Amino acid sequence: MAQTPAFLDGGRPPVPDLVVPRGVTPFFLPNRPVRGRLVRLGPLADALLTRHDNHPSVTRLAGQALALVAALSTALKFRGSFSLQAKGDGPVSMLLADCTETGALRGYARAESEKLAPLLAEGDSPAANELLGDGYLALTVDQGPEQNRHQGIVKLEGGNLAEMVLHYFETSEQLRCMVHLACEQGPGGWRAAALVLEKIAGAGGVDPDLDEAAQEESWRTATALAATVTDEELLDDDLAPERLLYRLFHTEGVAVDRARALSYGCRCSRARLAGILEGFSDDDLDHMSVEGDIVMTCEFCNHDFRFPRADVHGKPDATPDRA
């Protein structure tokens, strides 16, 4: 049987077909101006993070970014994706993670070993601000090619990723949030988790007898209780989400909404990359070719796609499409 032409080959590369049925647990405090999400990536974290051979400090940062976008993407009410991008002049020149409305999750961190080595020589694991350096943080909601993207960009501020995203919400969205991110490697591999709280306006489910001062006090109480959670609790596969949330908020009351699944979500394919190659000129394709083949690597899943040069046809004087 003839091989499927690249432009028709939409199959996924050999990557894990993994779904975590209860990856995100939304919750709220009844009659209080507080709602939140508890994110547990479980074995999905290890499947995503081990696609790249990064230093543990870089892998930890990437895992926190994945858990964060999984939490924030639950706000999507339409077909699309929510993405986080951090770009700086530090050893990690690019941090990228995104999650679709169906929970398809992907991400990677691009590290430069020459810049990372001096930090590692100092002993302790470098913090996020040391890894990223000076740069920007962008959060983007993409509703597809026929809709305008909504993007907010702020300067990187804070010692860790949670502080950086809180700075974004305070300056760009004027939202009151609390964020706790965790990612560590244990006996079962890498695990990543997030606990995110959001203060909502005094309407819709909030006790009408609570005045502004009482609502503010409820928010302070909720964030104080949430601050008692440990990384170990967040990353414990054996500690059910409902049990952890009850442990944290039982004095205030807590209600859980329907859980959301997360999955291994790299969307690369030979067809997608073949379309990009066809936007180059034949001269450019000749320069890309090595020993008769053009190799393109998906940065998310770290899979190499090999295209025989003879099978790829470019356009004369073409300008490459921007991915």
* Domain positions in the chain: 19-264, 268-311
Quote the Cα angle for 220-224-226, to 5°.
120
Integer Cα distance of 241 and 262 in angstroms: 15
Tell me which residue has tokens 């609790």: 233
Quote the Cα angle for 241-247-253, to 5°.
95
Quote the crossing angle between the two packed helices 212-226 and 241-249, to the nearest 10°: 130
Q: Are 19-264 and 268-311 in the same CATH fold? A: no
Integer Cα distance of 130 and 132 in angstroms: 6
Q: Are 35 and 254 in contact (CB under 8 A)?
A: no
pLDDT single digits (tens) 80-137: 889 999 999 999 999 999 999 899 999 999 999 999 999 988 767 899 999 999 999 9
Walking along the chain (323 residues) 10 residues at a time, the average pLDDT comes out as 52 74 95 94 96 94 97 82 95 95 93 91 86 96 74 94 94 87 96 96 63 88 97 97 97 94 82 80 85 80 79 66 45
Question: Closest Cα partner for 259 from 241, 243, 246?
Answer: 241
pLDDT single digits (tens) 21-33: 999 999 999 988 9
pTM, two decimals, is 0.85
Integer Cα distance of 82 and 167 in angstroms: 18
Q: What is the pLDDT of residue 267?
A: 73
First to last CA, the chain: 32
3-state secondary structure of 254: coil
Q: Are 14 and 266 in contact (CB under 8 A)?
A: no
Q: What is the pLDDT of residue 234?
A: 98
Q: What is the pLDDT of residue 300?
A: 77
Question: Closest Cα partner for 36 from 24, 44, 23?
Answer: 24
Please state which architecture CATH assigns to domain 268-311. Alpha-Beta Complex (3.90)
Q: Which parts of 143-249 are beta strand (E)?
A: 150-155, 177-186, 189-199
Please state which architecture CATH assigns to domain 19-264. 3-Layer(bab) Sandwich (3.55)
Phi-psi region of 141 (alpha: psi -120 to 50; beta: other; left: phi over 0): beta
